[in-house]
Structure formats: C-alpha cells, structure tokens
Structure 1
Amino acid sequence: MFQSTFKNFNFNFNSSNEGNTVSSGDLLTGHISFDLTKPTKIRSITMSLTGGVRVYWSTGSGKNRRSHSARLTFFDLKTVLQQDQDEAVERPELSPGTHMYPFSCQIPQGDFPPTFNGAHGQVIYVLTVGINRPWHMAKTFQTDLNFVSRVDTSQPDLPLPLSGSNRAKTCNLWCTSGEVTLAARTEKKAFIPGETAKIICDFSNGSSKTATLKVKLQQQQTYYTHNRVSRRTVFKELASEVGDPVAPYTSDQHAEVMITIPSPLTMSITNCSILELEYLIQVSLCVKPCTDVMVLFPIVLCDTPVEARFPF
C-alpha cells in the first residue's frame, strides 16, 4: 500500500520570519522530505501553489431550502520537482530511507486578501505536492500557508478620530418619559491586534431608570454570491466592557472606556468581491426595557501600528 511505502512526509521551509507568514511577492524556498520503506519507482513529483476563496450557505428549509455558493481563484501555479525525461528509459528504483527534494516558488504580486476561516467561507492558500508512480494512483500532500495582507497605512483617514452621537426619548409603561443622549469618539480609525482603544463618552440619562454604558468590539463577516445577488452576514462579539451604572435624571456625564483588541485576529478584508471582513466598535447606553441608544464606529484592523493624528 502507498501509505506504508511513503512515511513521514514533511514540508520544510526556509522561513524568513518568526510567524511563518507569507505575503504577496514572497519567494518560498525549502525542501520536501519523506521516508521510503522499500525500493520504489517514482515517475514524477509535482508542486502547485494555489490561492482562492469560497463561500457557501443555505436559506429556507424542506422543499424551500436553497443553497448559495461562490468561488474565486486568485492564482494556480504549477511546477515539477522531479520527472522522467524519457519514459522509454527505465528509471532506477529509489532505495529505502529518507529522500529530499528542494523547491522554490513565488507568490504572485497582487492585492490578495489574508488567510481567513469564517462561518460560511474561507480564504485559503495551499501548497500541494503530488507523487506519481507507474501503475498507481497519484498521492497528494498539502500544507496551508498563513497569508498576510499588507494594509496601506498611508490612507489619510486611518490616523484621524471617529465621532458620533445619538439620542432617544424613553416613554413606556415601565419608564417615565425622558431623553437619553450619547456622544462618543475614538482617537483614530486603524488599530492592530493586541492594541487598546480608548473610547471617550459623554452622555445624559433623563429617564427614571438606571442606564448602563457598554462598549463592544464586533467582527462582521459578509458573504456574497457572484454579482452580489444574495448575501449572508454574521456578527461575532470579540470583546466587551461595561461602565459604571448611570443614575436616573443625570446629565453631563463623562467616561473613558478602554477596550483591548484580541490577538491574533485576521486583518480587515475589503479587497474581495465575495467575502468582506469588517470590525465595529459599538458604544451603547442601555436603559431597560427601552431600546438602546447606540453609536457605531467602523474601524480598520491592520498589521502595522498607526499613530493617532490628534491623540486624546
């Protein structure tokens, strides 16, 4: 059997960084290695480097159930590591033991999204080796590559502050009428995983109920079919902070909330037509059982620190 003939297959990379990540234009070098348990003839060893994205979800149930899917291929490169030049010439068998073959391939230049595995789709980059023997089915070995996109941090809006405000009138059977207001701001738009974001909040609680200030970091995954005829959106809460209770009939309140962005996280994806990955900071003043007063900040998660233009 093939599985007993070939053992301990490994991809060995000459990595140039601690995180073993790859990016657009990188040259991948290294060698593959495997052990043979008996003399074996190999016709060819091929390698392919592929990158792409696929999305899928379903709607409805029973007879009304409908499937949605889409797929894009960014690149599909192939090379030969070893091959018989003349099939008429009998190639000697490889002896039992460890065998190694060097490889070198380059990721194309391009604006490709980072590796991502979401609820209804994936962005994947794969290195595949195929070993072909006479009178045998080809056997493949794969390894996933951790592809990282380089966000253009020179975009003029990334170091600028974000601000927003909202207000609502509370009036129902459980809460005396009164206005609840909220104004919030961040010192910049771009952050990196592990960084702590400062949220400045000014608010008033004109209702008869105690209010609670809450800050959440959310990941928004959006999947599309081609031409964006259909879509599916998924929200995932990544972090949250809760402020001190706000007493009824209080005004001109001020608070600073610090929320840390978890690490690791995939960078924002805005360069793919069928999959988007966005991050939102949600600031809300909650007065139960009334509707929350909310302010949303769309932020950009990147791999390079961005200094605030006007720090608080």
Structure 2
Amino acid sequence: MSPIENLTLTFHKEDPFSEGDTIIGTVSFSLTKDTKIKSVSLKAKGDANVSWESGNTKYYGHWGYFKTKEYLVEKHPKGRLIPKGTYFLRFSFSLPHESMPSSFRENNRSIVYMLQVKITRPWKWSSYVHKEIDFVSRSILNISRVMCPQSGSVNKKVSKGQVQMSASVNRKVCSPGDTLSAYAKIYNSSTKSMRPKFSLLQKIEYRVKKKTKVKLKTLFKSVGDTTGPNTETTASCTMEIPTSAIYTINNCEIISVEYYLKVYLDISYTFDPEVVLPLIIVPSVSHQPCEELEPDQSGLIRSYRDVLALAVLLNLVETGSGVQEHPETEESQ
C-alpha cells in the first residue's frame, strides 16, 4: 500500500478562468511513514480532440493550446527521505494570453484544460491527482451584451400570388436561462394557407483536415396559428435558452458551436420561405470570471505545518511567482 495518502489539488477560487488569468492553488498530501520521494511536479495543458467514424473510416483530430511543467519539489535521482507527516505546497500558474476556446465536452469530443500533480518515488508506482480548469474564452466575454434586436425578411412567389415575411428577435447575445421574444409579420397575398414556425437550432461542427461532421439539434420549437389566403397576420413566441446550453465557440480550429433562430412558413407543396437569425450564447454576468488578485510574489511554494521541514530537507529554493511556459513538445521519458 502506498504511504502517500489524501493527495489533493485545490484552487483558491472555483470561478471560471480565462486567458491571462492566474490560478493559485494548493497541493496537499500525507505520508503515513518516512518515504523517499524523487519529485513533485505540476503539469498544465489545454487540448482539443475530436473523433468520429464514417463507414469503415475513422477520423481523429487534435489541437494543442499549451503544455507546461514545473517541479514543486525538484527532481532527485535516488530520492530523498521525507519524514512522516502532512504537507502543503502552494503554487501559482498563469494561463497563456493567446485566444483559446471555452471548455467543451460532447461524447468523445472535447476541449479540456487540466492540471496534474505527480509524486514520483524510486522504483514505485507514481501517485497522481488531476483537476479540470473551468475555462471561458474572452472572445465571447468581450462581446457587447447591449440588447440589440435583429431582423430579416423573405419574399416568395407561390401559386397565384406572393408571400412576404419579416422576422425579428429582441436580442442577438444571450445567456443560458434567458428568455427571447421573436416575432413574424406575414403578408399572404396568395391562395394558400400557411403556418409560421419558430425553431432554436444548435449547430456543432467538427473538422479534421478537409473532412467535417455537422451535428444539428433543435432546442426549441413553436408553431403559430394558420394564416389564411389573402390575409396579414403577426405571430409571436417566447423561448427560454436551455440552462444546459453550451457557450458559443468561434475560435477553435477543429470545433465550432453556433446557434440560430429560424423562422419559417410551412406551406404545402413548396419550399418553405425562411429567415435565419444568428445568436451568440455567452456566460451570464454571475458566471463570468472575477478580477484576479495579484499572486504572491514571494515564491511558488509556501510553507504550512510540516512543509517547513520538507523545505529544509530538500533545500528548496523559491523560484518565482508561477509556473513558466515551455514550448509544446512531447515530454521526454
């Protein structure tokens, strides 16, 4: 049985993080007996992965955003004997400033940001703990939330007449749980009857080189009253953005998430005229990242309780305020 117990990785705040934010946290563990430890490392990475099958062909795509590694306890080839006790190692890590997409999971496709702590011992299995970073891209946080209505119109010739429809929605930018109001003004100068319909659509697209896979999902649908021949009517509906809706993703090389409000007229024996209005779904104000406190400039590792003894034994040298970035290369074995 491993003498390393209660290995945990905690953040000092659990709010979402964005580009350039600093994550401050603590690694804690207990040793049930005096134990030789070679190193304690912190690895951070952000990756997008997609895969799907089409017939007998399998498609895989990967895009790496960053990969870094830093030692909280420096490597020692043979390991150093650490006394029995409980230890706390504090760290700070700054996310890259480059634009990166928000966290995403859908079946075996994902955009994931992760921290991993690894404790290695001579000739023994290593101990690991992982913690996922809740990440929200600034590319959508910086979009103005001013309630700006948008509208569109369509004309179509049908048997013995013409149909005109103008459609609008009260806002373009919204958040999960918000309620939208949509309208359709119909001018039917034909001999046909028709019904207005409103649909909220989600479009997820996966890309691998020149191949794409598109997943369309209807999140909401409403059917209005029938508009008879040679009449003018106005249809309206209210719809709630599902609280589980994924945020819009528009800055990932292999995954995109888009939303549309489609307003169309269901007319028998003809192509339905439609107006498609794009929507952008962003976090609500209460879920946006908070302003970061300045990280402790005195060092990467802080001492609590028995960690002072650990620092003395390992001759730890304070190395700065955070994990430094390294080029994205495969980790050497």
TM-score (norm 1): 0.80
Shift of 1:256: 2.5
**1:288, distance to aligned residue in structure 2 (A):** 4.9
Residue 151 of structure 1 aligns to a residue whose secondary structure is: helix
User: Is 1:261 equivalent to 2:261 in the alignment?
Assistant: no
Partner-residue secondary structure (3-state), 1:147: coil
With over 3 angstroms needed to count, the CA separation of the structure-2 counterparts of 1:80 and 1:153, relative to structure 1, is: closer
What is the aligned length?
284
Unaligned runs of 5+ in 2: 286-333
Q: Per residue, is there more strand in 1 or in 2?
A: 1
Asked if the contact 1:112–1:149 (Cα under 8 Å) also holds between the matched residues in 2, the reply is: yes
2:114–2:132 Cα contact (<8 Å) kept: yes
* 1:234 corresponds to 2:215: yes
Task: For residues 226-269 of structure 1, give each alpha carbon's deviation from its aligned partner in whole angstroms, at most 9, with x where no partner exists.
Answer: 3xx111111122233333x2143252111232222122433211
Give the match for residue 25 of structure 2: 30
Asked whether the equivalents of residues 120 and 223 of structure 1 are also in contact (C-alpha less than 8 Å), the reply is no
Q: Does the 8 Å CA contact 1:170/1:180 hold for their aligned counterparts?
A: yes
Give structure 1 stretches of 5+ with no counterpart.
172-176, 306-312
Q: How does 1:171-210 map to 2 (within 5 A)?
A: 179-205=162-188, 206-209=190-193
1:62-101 aligned at under 5 Å gives the runs 65-84=56-75, 87=77, 91-95=80-84, 98-101=86-89
Alignment of 1:100-115 (within 5 A): 100-115=88-103
Distance 2:80 2:95 in 1: 33
Name the Cα RMSD after superposition. 2.8
Pick aligned residue for 2:277 from 284, 294, 297:
297
The 8 Å contact of residues 153 and 304 in structure 1, kept in 2 or not, is answered as no
Correspondence 1:56 to 2:18: no
Q: Give a deviation string over 1:193-247, Cα, whole Å, max 9, x none.
A: 22222212111454554x3322221111111113xx111111122233333x214
CA 1:137–1:194: 2 relative to 1, 3 Å: same
**CA deviations over 1:136-155 (Å, ceiling 9, x no partner):** 13332211111011236776
Map of 1:310 onto structure 2: none
Question: Partners in 1 of 2:142 and 2:49 — Cα distance?
Answer: 30
Letter matched to residue 132 of structure 1: T
Deviation of 1:55 after TM superposition, in Å, equals 1.4
Query: Percent identity among equivalent residues?
Result: 27
Q: C-alpha displacement at 1:279, in angstroms?
A: 0.8
CA change 1:159–1:110 in 2 (3 A) is farther
Q: What does 1:119-130 align with in structure 2 at a 5 Å threshold?
A: 119=107, 121-130=109-118
Q: Aligned partner of 1:182: which letter? A: M
Distance in 1 separating the partners of 2:191 and 2:31: 77
Q: Which residue of 2 aligns with 1:150?
A: 138
Cα separation, 1, equivalents of 2:122 and 2:109: 37
> Match of 1:246?
226
Q: Aligned partners of 1:178 and 1:9: how far apart in 2?
A: 74
Of structures 1 and 2, the one with the larger relative CO (CA 8 A, separation 6+) is 2
1:142 is paired with a residue whose SS is strand
Q: Which letter does structure 2 place at the counterpart of 1:279?
A: Y
| Aligned mates of 1:240, 1:37 — CA distance in 2 | 59
Amino acid at match of 2:72: L
> For residue 125 of structure 2, what is the aligned residue in structure 1?
137
The more displaced of 183-192 and 274-283 is 183-192
Deviation at 1:107, TM superposition (A): 0.8
